Structure 1
Amino acid sequence: MEAAVEVPAELGAMAARALAAGDALGALRVTGPFGGPHALALRGIALAQMGAYAEARAALERAALAFAAAGAERARARASAALGEIALAQRELGEAQRQLVEAGDALERAGDLTNAAWARLGAARAALLEGRVAEAERALAAAEATVTGDAPVFTRAALALARAELHARLVRASSARRAAEQAAAWARASGHPQLIAETERFLRAHDEPVARVVRGGREELARLADVEALVAAEGRVVVDSLRRRVIDGGAVRADLARRPVLFAMLEALARAHPAAVASVDLARAAFGVRTINESHRPRLRVEVGRLRAALGGAGVVRALGNAYRWELGGGVELVLLAPLDPGNAGAICALLADGAAWSAPAIGAALCKSTRTVQRALSALVLARAVEVSGSGPSRRYARPRAALSIASQMLLLGLALPG
């Protein structure tokens, strides 16, 4: 039976140091004989670092309740932040966002600025994974504003790496590299192997192809810096399939991230440009069907009208009898920016590249796809051994085998062990 004795302060500090060094087993050995809330919290963090999320949640929830009953608000907020980080690691992004924002505010009120920054960093990552870039930028700015001048170098490295990831998502190649190089320098100064590996992985990925550029019937690979130059040019309309938007002269004219039917039509029109697309082919692209019936024709006319309104002046979609053509002004070049791997399978593999395990509904939400569509693609990927599956029912998760190490599910948990 577990003792209800609290872990002594010196042993708690020893367990915290073990967690900060990535030695989860060492922390478990130290806290094993004790059953108070601090021991439970440390044990929960260690279990989470090892990927035993169900057991970690149970320990941290018990610790949070005990801290709340004792009026220990700072400790309760730390436990709540760890629970939010577990939700983030399991890609329960909405729950993670809510918990981490609340925990960050509570930690700041309690004077724990370092861990408030960690919680807000986690909230930023949750928003970024769901494609809510503006919200991620606000959360990251709040995290950076919370950090004091004497913050541990590990904290600064993690924040700089998150800033690099954000700039990469915003297609700001130069600023992404600068932030990543600063993160790498601070990571080396911290001596933490996981953070060093992650910053180095980011810098390698920065110089690798991230997309395919399709124009004039030709395709070529493009790095992030190439994409940045492409979308910034005047006299060019870019259909960005990675983020489902239209960019005209460097400005976003249409954001169709949450309107998959409209973007499917636009992508078909862009691939055919300057030629027209037959109505039946456009309907197949829009509605994801093989056979067109009479109900699809009026639906297509409605969706084309919506697409015209959404384009915001970036050309016009013109009806030509039984076909449609996207017409642009004279001298305007049209370029399609496509994922490295086409189709749903390629998008899923790109999303799973961070090494974390995702549920099918979470993948669908991030890619604006139905859960059924995602499950069909996942089944094919599992058969091809490109994706591994674990758990069953609501706990079923998918991940890339032997994916590159990511500290995304480790950072906040490590941060909880830091003083302050």
Structure 2
Amino acid sequence: MDSMIVAAARLLATGDLLGALKRVALRNDAPALALRGIAMAQLGDLVRAKILLKAAARSFGSREPVPRARCVVAEAEIALVSRDLTWPAKTLTAAREVLEAHGDRLNAAHARHLEARRLLLVGHLDQAEQLLAGVDPTPFPPPLRTTHELVVGGIAIRRLRTGAARAALQRAENAAREAGIPALDAEVDSVSQVLKTPAARLIGRDKEQFLLLEEVEAVLTTDALVVDACRYVVRKGDMLVSLTTRPVLFALARALAERWPGDVSRNALVSRAFGAKEADESHRARLRVEIGRLRGELHRVADINATRDGFVFVPRHSQDVLILAPPVEEQHGEILAFLADGEAWSSSALAIAIGASPRTVQRALDTLSEKGKVQSFGRGPARRWTIPSLPGFPSTLLLPGPLPND
């Protein structure tokens, strides 16, 4: 490799993008195309970057597997940043395996972290942890150590392990400071804000308050029966009942929790669960069926007793019933949660991340667009969605992925 390519690569590693481009801007050989592609990606021109990296990969060909695999890893990073979740993840895995087989330890580690970041984004926390298991970041250069600790911290945040998250983010901050790259400092600061901003509302008897993430973690370790409207679960200590796929049952559980220790009338429960203004005999019959189903689901943590006017929650071995709700509750909150990261998402990528059908997500985006809460640019497959401004709360509890004891 000639001295100009080596100099450009070193400048890229230190964040001097313009200095790197000056050395390879007029060259069209494969190494120069790859470096230009990486530089353009870091400057934000992702479309041009993808074109350059694809051209570089073709130029390297099958006879130079390592440089070609590096180009694939760079393409994967661009796909992740641009929230193109349809980009084939198996291609990145194959590139990582090539790099590992040829002893390119640092680029293989970078590919592994990209895989983990994608898994984290779509809520596959166990798989992300398995990818990082046994990885020692100590010998990594500062930028790669920063990335590693950000992924570790992100997993801890999503699992509500705030102590581990703070420790990882402190290590990330130290590594970013050592790297001396402003973009890394900004990314660490952005993630750290999650721990400093209200993540949920706690609703109890005659009280309501905002909670930080560590306070949410503390609530979930108490003996109270918690109806979690962020994840659609009912929990008490280590016992958890998921009602994620049972919205009617969760609506009934929350209505009963809101009036505890009092009862809730049948008319109020029918209105809450079925959207009916008045309860006729068919609604009452359906209510009896759904209450029976809810009793069956919650039998380990609570009873539901009939009263003269309706039904009442009777928690087992708990002295309190609490509700955890998002800081701001509104329809399609999970979509707004993803868009809150400030990136431009396609509707297909949102569908993959949320686990819903593309048509369902598109209808939700159209509804939010009519209300002025989201905006789009581009047309057809290139259409991307963003929010006009970031909401004043983190999206952690609205994103997919298990909470403790799931």
The 8 Å contact of residues 344 and 374 in structure 1, kept in 2 or not, is answered as no
- Among candidates 202, 208, 216, match of residue 213 of structure 1: 202
After TM superposition, the structure 1 stretch with the greater mean CA deviation from structure 2, 295-304 or 172-181, is: 295-304
Distance 1:42 1:402 in 2: 33
Q: Which residue of 2 aligns with 1:3?
A: none
Distance 1:125 1:205 in 2: 17
The 8 Å contact of residues 253 and 311 in structure 1, kept in 2 or not, is answered as no
- Shift of residue 255 of structure 1? 3.6
- Shift of residue 342 of structure 1? 0.5
The residue type equivalent to 1:218 in the other structure is K
Q: Which residue of 2 aligns with 1:247?
A: 235
> Which stretches in structure 2 are left out of the alignment for 5+ residues?
392-406
Query: TM-score when scaled to structure 1?
Result: 0.78
Is 1:203–2:192 an aligned residue pair?
yes
Q: Residues 36 and 248 (structure 1 numbering): CA distance in 2 closer, same or farther, change over 3 Å?
A: same
Q: Which residue of 2 aligns with 1:67?
A: 60
The residue type equivalent to 1:53 in the other structure is L
- Shift of residue 222 of structure 1? 0.4
Distance 1:100 1:298 in 2: 54
- Among candidates 332, 338, 344, match of residue 357 of structure 1: 344
Q: Which residue of 2 aligns with 1:133?
A: 125
- Shift of residue 352 of structure 1? 2.1
After TM superposition, the structure 1 stretch with the greater mean CA deviation from structure 2, 35-44 or 150-159, is: 35-44
Distance 1:298 1:98 in 2: 51
* 1:132-152 CA distance string (max 9 Å, x none): 22222222336x34x4x4320
Distance 2:359 2:274 in 1: 15
After TM superposition, the structure 1 stretch with the greater mean CA deviation from structure 2, 394-403 or 261-270, is: 261-270
* 1:305-348 CA distance string (max 9 Å, x none): 66555547232456779966544215442222111110235443
The residue type equivalent to 2:214 in the other structure is A
* 1:41-95 CA distance string (max 9 Å, x none): 222223322333333333323333333432x221122112122222212223364
Query: TM-score when scaled to structure 2?
Result: 0.81
Is 1:313–2:300 an aligned residue pair?
yes
Over the matched positions of the two proteins, sequence identity in percent amounts to 38
SS at match of 1:214: strand
SS at match of 2:198: coil
Q: Please give the residue correspondences for 1:315-394 in structure 2 after superposition, counting only pairs within 5 Å.
A: 315-316=302-303, 326-368=313-355, 371=358, 374-379=361-366, 381-382=368-369, 386-394=373-381
- Shift of residue 213 of structure 1? 0.9
- Shift of residue 191 of structure 1? 0.7
Q: Residues 93 and 190 (structure 1 numbering): CA distance in 2 closer, same or farther, change over 3 Å?
A: same
- Shift of residue 278 of structure 1? 6.2
> Which stretches in structure 1 are left out of the alignment for 5+ residues?
1-7, 405-420
After TM superposition, the structure 1 stretch with the greater mean CA deviation from structure 2, 315-324 or 184-193, is: 315-324
Distance 2:11 2:371 in 1: 39
Distance 1:140 1:113 in 2: 14
Is 1:13–2:6 an aligned residue pair?
yes
* 1:87-134 CA distance string (max 9 Å, x none): 212223364643433333332222122122221212222122212222
SS at match of 1:139: helix
Distance 1:290 1:374 in 2: 28
Q: Which residue of 2 aligns with 1:44?
A: 37
Q: Please give the residue correspondences for 1:1-150 in structure 2 after superposition, counting only pairs within 5 Å.
A: 9-70=2-63, 72-93=64-85, 95=87, 97-141=89-133, 144-145=135-136, 147=137, 149-150=138-139
SS at match of 1:247: strand
- Shift of residue 231 of structure 1? 0.6
Distance 2:274 2:382 in 1: 31
The residue type equivalent to 1:244 in the other structure is Y
The 8 Å contact of residues 83 and 99 in structure 1, kept in 2 or not, is answered as no
Q: Which residue of 2 aligns with 1:158?
A: 147
Q: Residues 231 and 64 (structure 1 numbering): CA distance in 2 closer, same or farther, change over 3 Å?
A: same
- Shift of residue 252 of structure 1? 5.0
After TM superposition, the structure 1 stretch with the greater mean CA deviation from structure 2, 357-366 or 218-227, is: 357-366
Q: Residues 63 and 344 (structure 1 numbering): CA distance in 2 closer, same or farther, change over 3 Å?
A: farther
Distance 1:114 1:364 in 2: 33
- Shift of residue 193 of structure 1? 0.7
Is 1:236–2:228 an aligned residue pair?
no
After TM superposition, the structure 1 stretch with the greater mean CA deviation from structure 2, 109-118 or 94-103, is: 94-103
The 8 Å contact of residues 167 and 175 in structure 1, kept in 2 or not, is answered as yes
The residue type equivalent to 2:33 in the other structure is L
The residue type equivalent to 1:337 in the other structure is L
Q: Residues 116 and 69 (structure 1 numbering): CA distance in 2 closer, same or farther, change over 3 Å?
A: closer
After TM superposition, the structure 1 stretch with the greater mean CA deviation from structure 2, 115-124 or 394-403, is: 394-403
Is 1:194–2:186 an aligned residue pair?
no
The residue type equivalent to 1:90 in the other structure is S
The 8 Å contact of residues 225 and 318 in structure 2, kept in 1 or not, is answered as no
- Shift of residue 385 of structure 1? 5.3
- Shift of residue 184 of structure 1? 0.8
Distance 1:374 1:280 in 2: 32
